[in-house]
Amino acid sequence: MKLIIRNLARSTTEEEVKALFQKYGAVQSCDLVLDKTTGGSKGFAFVEMPKPGEAKVAMKNVNDMTVASNKIRVKRAEKKTD
């Protein structure tokens, strides 16, 4: 299951995001979205967890958590439509 994490502090690293979700299960991938011009974080990331049950528990527990003074939001990522 692919999750989107929003409202991340610009200083939050990909490793920190991954660690938040690894507490609840296996993390297949973690992609912090970076600004092409500055190379800095855009404030959101995608985390993919292979087991939907673990992903749902992670989503419930991490949503509204305060990380680096920011209250983050976690929800299921929508599938891209062409």
- The C-alpha atoms of residue 25 and residue 41 are separated, in whole angstroms, by 25
H or E element: which one contains 34? strand 29-34
Q: Measured in whole angstroms, how far is the alpha carbon of residue 16 from the centre of its chain?
A: 10
- Region 16-24: mean pLDDT is 97
Q: Identify the domain containing residue 36 by its residue range.
A: 2-74
Residue 49 sits in a domain whose CATH number is 3.30.70.330
pLDDT for res 82:
61
- The C-alpha atoms of residue 15 and residue 44 are separated, in whole angstroms, by 13
In a domain, 82, yes or no: no
Residues 6+ apart with CB under 8 A from 79: none
- The C-alpha atoms of residue 73 and residue 62 are separated, in whole angstroms, by 8
Q: For residue 59, report the phi and psi dihedrals to the nearest 5 degrees.
A: -60, -45
**pTM of the entire structure?**
0.92
Per-residue model confidence as pLDDT tens digits over 66-80:
999 999 999 999 877
In a domain, 30, yes or no: yes
Q: Is the pLDDT of residue 81 over 70?
A: no
Per-residue model confidence as pLDDT tens digits over 22-68:
999 999 999 999 999 999 999 999 999 999 999 999 999 999 999 99
